[in-house]
Structure formats: C-alpha cells, structure tokens
Structure 1
Amino acid sequence: MESTASNEVVRDVQQNGLCTGCGACVNLCPYFRNHRGKTIRLFECDRTWGRCYAYCPRTEVNLTNLRKKLFQADDLTMELGAFKGLYMTQAGDETVRNAAQHGGTVTALMKLALAEGIIDSAVVAGDNDQQVACPEQVDGPDQVGSYSKSKFILPPTVGKLNEALKGKAEKIGVVAVPCQAQAMAKMRVNPGPSDAGNMSKLKLVVGLFCGWAFDGSKLRELLGKELGNTAITGMDIPPSRHKCMEVSTENGMVCLPMHEIQTCVADGCGYCIDMTCEFSDISVGAARSPEGWDVDKEWNQVIVRSALGQTLMDLARDRGILNFKEVPSGNLEKLQNASMKKKRSCLAYLAEKSGREDDFIFLSSEDPLIRRIRGLE
C-alpha cells in the first residue's frame, strides 16, 4: 500500500514548491511546526498514513466530491462554487469600519456570530511587530476588532484550529483564505479517527477572497529596503490599474510599485484553483464598482454559500449590523470571469510543473469540475 504520511508531505508538497503554510499539518503531532511563516518538519516519521497528508490542501483531492458533501447540489456552480447570492455590504458601525480593512464586513460578522452564540470562539489572523502573521483564538466579540486589518501574509490558521479543537470551545468560527478553507473541508469530510469527535466543533467558516499572498521573509526584506525601520500601520492593494501597494506608515502613505511587490508572492499561490474561498459559509472580498476605489474601499462584496451563511447574513441585515447597497450590474459576471481565469491559470501552472498537459498533480484530471474548466464536458 502506498504511504500517505509526513514523508510524502515533505516530498510531494514542500519539496515540490506547493506548500502554502496553511498549518493543516501543524499541532496534530510533535513533528510539524511553523517558524516565521514557514512550515517545517522537526523529525522524520515512519507512519504510512497521517492526518498531515489527509488534510493538506495540496494532496490529492476531488473537488466535485468535496463540494457535493458540504453544500446543497442546487447551489453549486462551476465558476464560484456554492452560490446563494452576491451582496455589497459594509459594517453599520462606523467605528468598526474605521478600524477594519475596507468595509469591515468580516469583523462585523464575526462579532455578531460571537454575540449571538452561533460560535463561542474564533480563530483569526494577527501579526507581531516583525510583520510575521500569527493566528490567534478569541472568545469575545470585543476582541475581534483588534485583528481586523488584512495581513497579506498567511498565518498557519488551520494549525491554530487544530489546537482549538482540543480545547474547551464547543462552537468555533474561523476566518480563512481559500487554501485554509479547503484544508478544513477535507478535515470535515474525512476526519482522522482521533479527530472525528471534535470536528463537529467547527461551526462557521468566513472566507476571504485571495488571488495570492506574500512570502513573509521576502516581503520583510523588501519593506526593510524601501522603508528602513519606519513603523508600518497597514497595507492595502488597490485595483490592478493602480499598479501599486499602499503601505501606511507612521510618516504617511508610501506606494510601492506592483512589479516589485509581485517578486514577494509566495511560491505556492500560483497552484491555487480557488479565488473566492469556495469552501466557506460566507466569503468576503474588496468591492469593485463604477464609483471607483475611493468609494469601493469602504465596501465589500460578499458571497453567501450555505444555509448558515444565509442565516448570519439575514441576521446582520435585521439587526443593522451591516449596511447594504445594490450590487452593480455586471459585477457577478466579472467575478465569475476572474474566478475562471484563476482556475485556468492554476491548471496551466500545474501542467507545466508536471510536464504533462493532463497531469495536475493533486487535482484529478477525471474530476468533473476539472473537466468542465478545461472545456471537456
């Protein structure tokens, strides 16, 4: 029988340049750890089956099967995954908006879920003063606002969830990017024997749209070269036509050219097939509209995917937790097109890496979704 454990994670994922640092293999056993944004294995392992391999988003997966087991069949779409509706929202509380990235929708939803008892604990992304992304677990709505800025560097969020699942919390919510959400989907559908009793604790996944994230060490090097020791208070990436990343510092705003910033993108991001965090209950991204960036940066676009996601969205509307406005004509089509561009790009990169046009390494060429993306069905 072919071994599927930590040796294969190292060989097939890490050494193959596919690792995203999601943390799915962290805090399962003493062997895998995260150090300054990198997942490392401390010791060799002689197991022939491991949760590290089973949960990794870059090991073999049939996305069609995963979708069908987690979402209503009538909601499934090729372009965006499960889809119940697209919304334009912002936090109703101006204080939340001012402290958060863009419209503050994610912060508002997580605060509401905690306040209403939908969840009793949340795993969110934080960072330290060395620009290292660190996941944190919070237990009260008042704590969420401290973690509301986008990091653009992936923390090992799923590793923090693995830790939280062993704790006292009974209803856990997670803010995740696509690779992390896919790992959690694999955990839910096929938990290891020691995890089966705890996986029901994972109640809510709020996803973030993500085209790519930074390699933390590369970004720190670039920021150090450009800004020296100047304290950074925030970062944002306007629409592509602006061709820059905005870095807020103690001395004001600095715009770094996108061609420099793109040299810092994490290697594993090109092999991601999901832009809109399809394996979440609700997923949230920056708004796009004809009104332009000055208006859009105060709003989010939101996809509702599950019954729980719809319940939370409806509650946010009823309670005035979120403000809503009409989705501009054409936005859904633009989002679908951008998502399909990401999917096709992923398949092209994987085929290039494998050296065969029909070998996508961890994505099955016989998966009906993959065949549809390729135009074969």
Structure 2
Amino acid sequence: MNCSSELENKIVKTGLCTSCGACQGLCPYWLSHRGKTIQMFSCDREEGRCYAFCPRTKTDLAKLREEFFPDADYIPEIGPFYGLYMTRAADADIRAKSQHGGTTTALVELAMRKGLIDAAILTDAKGGVNPKGVLVKKPQDVRKYSGSSFQIPPVLATLNKALEENRYKKIGVVGTPCKTLAVYKMKSRPFPDNDGNAGNIGMVFGLFCGWGLDWEGLEKLVQRHAAGKQLEHMDILPSKFHQMVLKTSKKQMEVPLEEIYPIVKGSCNYCVDMTAEFSDISVGGARSSEGWDVDQGWNQVIVRTEKGVKLIDLARKEGILEFKAVAESNLEKIKQASLNKKKTGLKNLRKLSGSKNNLIYLNPDEPGIEKACVDMA
C-alpha cells in the first residue's frame, strides 16, 4: 500500500487525524476544508513526507528526544526540562490583546528582533472562529496575531509552503502539541535527499493544550450564543468554573461545559501530550493559589532547550517579560494534570485498537508512556 493510502486509511478514516496540516503544502494530493483533512487524489509513492511528518503515525519519541534534547533533564510526565517560570509580557498593550499573559507574543517578537528567528508561523485566531495559519515576516506584526482559537487550522501547511520557498532560514513555529511533534518529525529529516528545507526551521514555541473543538460544532455553538456578533476572544476557564467564555466588544457570554464536551474534536481523545513536550519553550495559562482574577494575566512557561534558556534570559535582561516566584507545588500540579491526560489518551487508544498493548502510534516502553501505563495498572 502506498503512503497516501496508508495515511487515509490508518489516520484520517480512523479519527486520529489532528488537522495540523503537516501533510499539506507538499504536493497537490492533500488539502484541508473547514477543519477536515481531505485526500484529493491518491499517489503511488511507497514512502512520503506526508506520512512521515504526521504526528499520529508511529513515532520513536525517545529517539527524537535524544537528537534534539540531549542535555535537558527528562521528566516523564512533561518531557525535557530546564526550568519552570511564571511570566507575563511587560508591555501592557500585548497583555491586553493576548489570551492570558502575552508571554508567547512577547517572546516571538523578541526572538525575531534579535535574529534568533527571521520569520514566524502563527495563527490568525480571528476572535476564535475560522482561524488560519500565517507567515509573519516583521517583528512589529507579531502582536497582530495574539489570542487563541479552539478550532484547529492546518497551520503547518503554511510552514511547508514557506520552507519550499526557501526564503527564510530560521522560521519560528508556534503550535499546540500535535503540531510541535510534527515539526520535530520534519526536523529529523526522515528523507535527507528530500527534506523540504527542514533545516530552515528555527525555534519552536509550544502551547499547552487540553483539547480542540470540532470546526462546525464550534460555529454552531457561537451562532447559538452570539449570533450576528463579532467575537474578540474565547477561553476555557479553570475546571472549578466549568464554563467557556465568549467575548464581544460589548458583552461576555458564559457557556457551560456540558455544551462544549460534545464538540471536542475526536482526535484529541487520543492525545497524550498536554504541555507540548517537543518545543524549545512551552507556554500555558497560569494556575496558582492567588486565584483566577490574578492568574488570567500570567503564564506558566517550561523551558526545554538551551535556545529556550537563552531567550528567556534575554527577555528578563531586556525587561520584555515580568517574572514572579513559582510556588513549589506548581510543578507537581502540572505533572499530575499531564499524567492524567496521558492516561486518558492511552485508555482511548487501547479502546480504538482493541488491545491493551497496541497503542497505535506510541511505543508502550517509551518512558513517559510506560509511567502512565504503570499508573493505570
């Protein structure tokens, strides 16, 4: 069977596809429409980048870590680790337009200004509905794309097209865990003679992620609660609030999670990575004893590589980020939340495969997976 048919039959039709876009922008055969990955034509390649880059095809996670994170400590629940920080953008304008503390926007902007990256693949969230991937070429344009969407656009198709153009040599990428894993599979150059200029990928900025939402399901939900209104922001609040928030310029609407759970994207049920373990820096919403009124303006940041250390130190030195002390309990809470996600994903993968030992795209002996399996026993 050729690689295109394998991808269609084993990933798309089984509901594993994350809609990340890693298979798109490489050839005419794969496209995306309203959150769905579509095979336009079959091809006769036995091996192809579309299959090799997919985050849901078989992946040797340990080998990827050995290649790209050789010096980092390894914490099975959350991956490579240099340190945990609590930060926010010092620029109040960035904070006002960002999802939480604006850390990702501030870091990407700084990395571009300092030449650590020369372009960036971001998501134009459009208030949370109908997002799309964008290639940003100027640091002053980064903040235009602050904010998040729970729909999942094929952002990596934009990366593939930028790599093909071969104009930028250090392209930064911001993405959720499925996307960042795909990026590192690209960086591993499975086909050295046909790597699509993967050496032009620069720093990778990961985003913590619990799950995304079905494209059409979210559109219908927004239509019910905010018909005819232009959304400016959406967010899932901490679990104790049990709600999603939709905001326009004049109104805030609270949607109970009972309306959200049925539209969670199916492939997210098979994800085992909450903190974007394959990235230079991972950023998520803050959680602390100070409560949500404070936490919603801050981020938790996991630094995973020496590049990440260099950037976070530069952000501190230049006053780009504000820092505050991280409670000793925070790391344990992130580890537990991440372990819980791994266990849920493994449970669903076992159900899908029909076998306790068949985890489809994961190796049961991989340390992070093995720990979750043991904890489930």
Normalising by the smaller structure, the TM-score range is over 0.9
What's 1:58 paired with?
A: 56
Contact 2:164/2:196 (<8 A) preserved: no
For 2:27, the equivalent position in structure 1 comes to: 29
Whether 2:310 is the aligned partner of 1:288: answer: no
Q: Are 1:267 and 2:259 matched, yes or no?
A: no
2:218 corresponding residue in structure 1: 219
1:136 aligns with 2:142: no
8 Å Cα contact 2:4-2:45 kept in structure 1: yes
- CA offset at residue 54 of structure 1? 0.6
Give CA-to-partner distance per residue, 1:258-295, whole Å, 9 cap, x none.
Answer: 11012111110010110000000000000001111110
The residue number in structure 2 matching 1:346 is 345
Tell me which amino acid in the other structure corresponds to 2:157: G
Separation in structure 2 between the aligned mates of residue 223 and residue 66 of structure 1, nearest angstrom: 39
Measured after TM superposition, the shift of residue 250 of structure 1 is 3.6
Question: Separation in 2 of the partners of 1:161 and 1:346?
Answer: 27
* Structure-to-structure mapping, 1:107-146, within 5 angstroms: 107-128=105-126, 131-146=129-144
Please report how far the alpha carbon of residue 196 of structure 1 lies from its aligned counterpart in structure 2 after TM superposition: 3.1
Paired with 1:96 and 1:174, the residues of 2 have a C-alpha distance of 19
Instruction: Tell me by how many angstroms 1:315 deviates.
Output: 0.2
Distance between the aligned counterparts of 1:197 and 1:162, measured in 2? 7
SS in 2 for 1:72: coil
SS at 2:38's partner residue? strand
Compute the displacement of 1:128 (Å): 4.8
What secondary structure, in the 3-state scheme, does the structure 2 residue paired with 1:245 have?
A: strand
- Counterpart contact for 2:128–2:149, Cα < 8 Å: no
Alignment of 1:208-247 (within 5 A): 208-247=207-246
Contact 2:82/2:305 (8 A) holds in 1: yes
User: Are the counterparts in 2 of residues 85 and 303 from structure 1 also a CA contact under 8 Å?
Assistant: yes
SS of residue paired to 1:241: coil
Q: Which of 85, 88, 105 lines up with 1:87 in the alignment?
A: 85
CA contact (8 A) 2:123 2:131 kept: yes
**Map of 1:249 onto structure 2:** 248
Work out whether 1:359 is the aligned partner of 2:324: no
Q: 2:128, 2:233 within 8 Å by CA — same for their partners in 1?
A: no
Q: Which stretch of structure 1 is more off in the superposition, 220-229 or 207-216?
A: 220-229
Q: Is this contact kept in 1: 2:189–2:198, CA < 8 A?
A: no
Equivalent position of 2:146 in the other structure: 148
1:49 equivalenced with 2:47 (yes/no): yes
| Normalised TM-score (structure 2) | 0.96
- Segments of 5+ residues of structure 1 without an aligned counterpart are none
Q: AA paired with 2:29? A: Y
Identity of matched residues, %: 45
Q: How many residues align?
A: 375
- 1:107-140 deviations in whole A, cap 9, x for unaligned? 0000001110111100000145892120000111
TM-score w.r.t. length of structure 1: 0.96
Deviations 1:158-217 (A, max 9, x none): 111111112211110010110001111111113334543711111100100001011111
What secondary structure does 2:240 align onto? helix
Moved more, 30-39 or 16-25: 30-39
Partner of 1:77 in structure 2? 75
On the 8 A contact 1:101/1:150 being kept in 2, the answer is: yes
Q: Deviations along 1:326-348, whole A, 9 cap, x unmatched? A: 00230000000011111111111
